[in-house]
Structure 1
Amino acid sequence: MIKNFLNTLEDPERPLLGPNYKFLIKMGMLFPKNKLGRFFFYFLPHPVAVITAAATFELYCVRTDLNTVLNNLKFSTLGLVILAKVKIFIFGQERWRKIIEYVTEADKYERLTCDEIRGRIIEKYTKFGRLVTYIHVVMTGLTFIAITASPMLLYSSKTLRNNIRNGTAPFPHIVSMWTPFDKNQFPGIVILITYQTLGALWATGFMPACDSIILVTMLFFGGKLELLRERSKQMLGTDGKGISDEAANRITGELHDAHVLLMEHMKMLNTIVSPVMFTYVFVCSLMICASMFQVVNATTTFEKFILLQYLIFAIAQLFLFCWFSSELQRKNELVMLGPYECQWWAANARQRKNVMILAGQFSKVFIFTAGPFSNLSLELFVSVVKGAYSFYTLLRD
């Protein structure tokens, strides 16, 4: 049954980005052409904005309760990241469509012209892309269940229910946020729980749709670099007899243009993602720090489990972005070896000159960034985790 469901997400016209593209369409991140649909999807993320703003305002109201402050801080900063990601889709529609179409067409071309070696590269990044996408869906789904179920499980305690009735304890909401009505009495409780659940449900759908399309696109860029290296190895023939000048010019020209186009779309993706990653790196430090402090100070096993799951999700998300970026940088540096691995010794002086020009083009390395201050890499991930732990020790002491 699960296999049949996953097959429905596939798209023959988009062999790599099929599930990711459908997720974006369903979540309204790629606006439809009709005005009514655009209007609906434009306002769909607004509950998250309202919850984020109300939770941020509530920080001042609950400033004497450290645990509530940390809990609100996690959700308000997470909401800030979600809104930043929404912004890159709302205001970057045309650029996203260009990137998606480029990835789709370039991937289809590689599949139609691949040999056995390149076929294995394509199969590898396709399977890995599916794995990344579905892991994101599972992780966010579990986080949604944990976050929304937590208040109900806490409410199952008879002691807490009695304290709520006599006014000595507030009702356990998903996140404490300011409201213009009494949120601890009916019908305010029902209204707030429904509103927060709908906001969390939308965020649960949006997060894997947004993150997976970015990661799978980066994965394809890395795969494309590997494919360019393999094509470069064969550009002057494979039998040691060389090829004609006309064929050599055509092949080297195609490889040169393919690399230029790839670099152009890598820069375009970085322009979109870099500001969001800068926000996320800053926010992630606070989220990890707050979650670590709450895990250590949690009094029940259930609380520890929920907080630990949230902590693992935050760390895993940042790690994936940094690791994919580092892998892409490594493959970017290795692609220039392709021209030197071809049978240049069987070529004439003119063809060797083209090989050197192509090697010069391939030597251009592009690095994804997290804002204007840092490269998106594993070194950045280690620095963020170390910084979060330093904040935690300071908070603990």
Structure 2
Amino acid sequence: MGNKILKNLEDNDHPSLGPTLYGLKLWGMWQPKRGFSSFIYNLVHISAIMFVFSQYVELWIIRSDLEAALRNLSITMLSSVCVVKAGTFVLWQKDWKYIFDYVSSLEKNEINKNETVTCKTIKEYIAYSKKVTYVYWCLVTATVFGVIIAPVASFISSANDEQMNNNCTKGYPEIMSSWVPFDKTHGIGYLAMILEQTLICFYGGGIVANYDSNAVVLMSFFFGQLKLLKLNCERAFEESSGVDSHEYINKIRKCHEHHSNLVK
């Protein structure tokens, strides 16, 4: 069943970028078609930015408590990185579209040539990038659940010790430190805060997982293409004898064009 799910993430139009484009689209960073869905996704991104702003407000409020402030700052920096990644990806949508179109069109053209060495090289780096992507997604998912569950586990273990030693109670834990315009220490306010922070954790985890895995896939693409360019150059010189000069120059021109497009 797992293989079937992973198979559904693949896209023939995007040989290596299929899974990452699916994830980027699911988390609202890749928006090839503007519409109501884009509006909703951008509203989510803006809400995440407002949450990060509330973290900085809370940081200012608790600045006198050094331990709490440092703990807040460490999480706030990670949150800031997440919203910057999401925001810049959406703002630079045209540039990303140009890169994705180039990567996918080049791979499809080379695969359609049905040349053994070329297809083997492409399949090797595509398989590698997919393995890294899926493993990294699992790692980020485990991290997100760990971040959500860790405060509760810490609260349960420490509360028992304090009640035994001091006969006192401890406040309910927060997943992250953020400011809200209501009482967040108990009741509905606390539940609302936990729900908000849980959703933010999944949002941030998805942003990091998809943005970073997309970078790895693109680096794997360039590595594979440079390797393929090297092989094509070697074959061009090996086949120079007995080859028409015009055909030989045309092969060199194609290698040069390939290299120029990669480093552009």
> Do the aligned partners of residues 35 and 199 (structure 1) sit closer, same or farther apart at CA in structure 2, a change above 3 Å counting?
same
CA distance in 2, matches of 1:171, 1:22: 37
CA distance in 2, matches of 1:34, 1:60: 38
CA distance in 2, matches of 1:36, 1:210: 23
Residue type at the aligned position of 1:14 = H
* Structure with greater contact order relative to length (CA < 8 Å, sep ≥ 6): 2
Aligned residue in 1 for 2:58: 58
Aligned residue in 1 for 2:140: 140
Aligned residue in 2 for 1:203: 204
Deviation of 1:194 (Å): 0.5
Moved more, 87-96 or 40-49: 40-49
CA distance in 2, matches of 1:77, 1:185: 27
> Do the aligned partners of residues 161 and 92 (structure 1) sit closer, same or farther apart at CA in structure 2, a change above 3 Å counting?
farther
When the two chains are superposed, the root-mean-square deviation of aligned CA atoms in Å is 2.3
Using the size of structure 2 for normalisation, the TM-score is: 0.90
Aligned residue in 1 for 2:248: 248
1:142-181 aligned at under 5 Å gives the runs 142-157=142-157, 158-159=159-160, 169-181=170-182
Residue type at the aligned position of 1:225 = L
1:9–1:19 contact (8 Å) kept in structure 2: yes
- Is 1:94 aligned to residue 94 of structure 2? yes
Residue type at the aligned position of 2:209 = P
Aligned residue for 1:29, secondary structure, equals coil
Aligned residue in 2 for 1:187: 188
Using the size of structure 1 for normalisation, the TM-score is: 0.61
2:85–2:207 contact (8 Å) kept in structure 1: no
Deviation of 1:48 (Å): 2.5
| 1:123-159 deviation digits (Å, cap 9, x = unpaired) | 2211110012112211110111001112322343453
2:45–2:87 contact (8 Å) kept in structure 1: no
- Is 1:258 aligned to residue 258 of structure 2? yes
Aligned residue in 1 for 2:221: 220
Deviation of 1:92 (Å): 0.7
> Do the aligned partners of residues 55 and 170 (structure 1) sit closer, same or farther apart at CA in structure 2, a change above 3 Å counting?
farther
Aligned residue for 1:14, secondary structure, equals coil
Residue type at the aligned position of 2:224 = G
In the alignment of these two chains, the number of paired residues is: 261
CA distance in 2, matches of 1:9, 1:228: 28
Runs of 4 or more, structure 1, over 4 Å off, are: 160-163
| 1:188-246 deviation digits (Å, cap 9, x = unpaired) | 100100011111111222211111111111110111111111001111453x7331111
Aligned residue in 2 for 1:354: none
> Do the aligned partners of residues 234 and 114 (structure 1) sit closer, same or farther apart at CA in structure 2, a change above 3 Å counting?
farther
CA distance in 2, matches of 1:45, 1:170: 31
Deviation of 1:41 (Å): 1.1
Aligned residue for 1:154, secondary structure, equals helix
Deviation of 1:56 (Å): 2.0
Aligned residue in 2 for 1:330: none
| 1:59-108 deviation digits (Å, cap 9, x = unpaired) | 23333444422321121101111111112211111111110011101112
Residue type at the aligned position of 1:191 = A
Aligned residue in 2 for 1:386: none
2:162–2:169 contact (8 Å) kept in structure 1: no
Residue type at the aligned position of 2:35 = K
CA distance in 1, matches of 2:72, 2:242: 67
CA distance in 1, matches of 2:162, 2:183: 17
Gaps in structure 1 of 5+ consecutive residues = 265-397
1:125–1:223 contact (8 Å) kept in structure 2: yes
Residue type at the aligned position of 2:217 = V
Aligned residue for 1:235, secondary structure, equals helix
> Do the aligned partners of residues 181 and 167 (structure 1) sit closer, same or farther apart at CA in structure 2, a change above 3 Å counting?
farther
Percent pairwise identity: 28
Moved more, 242-251 or 95-104: 242-251
1:237–1:243 contact (8 Å) kept in structure 2: no
1:32–1:38 contact (8 Å) kept in structure 2: no
CA distance in 2, matches of 1:122, 1:155: 50
Aligned residue for 1:44, secondary structure, equals helix
CA distance in 1, matches of 2:14, 2:33: 20
Residue type at the aligned position of 2:171 = P
CA distance in 1, matches of 2:255, 2:26: 36
2:175–2:197 contact (8 Å) kept in structure 1: yes
Residue type at the aligned position of 2:202 = L
1:95-110 aligned at under 5 Å gives the runs 95-110=95-110
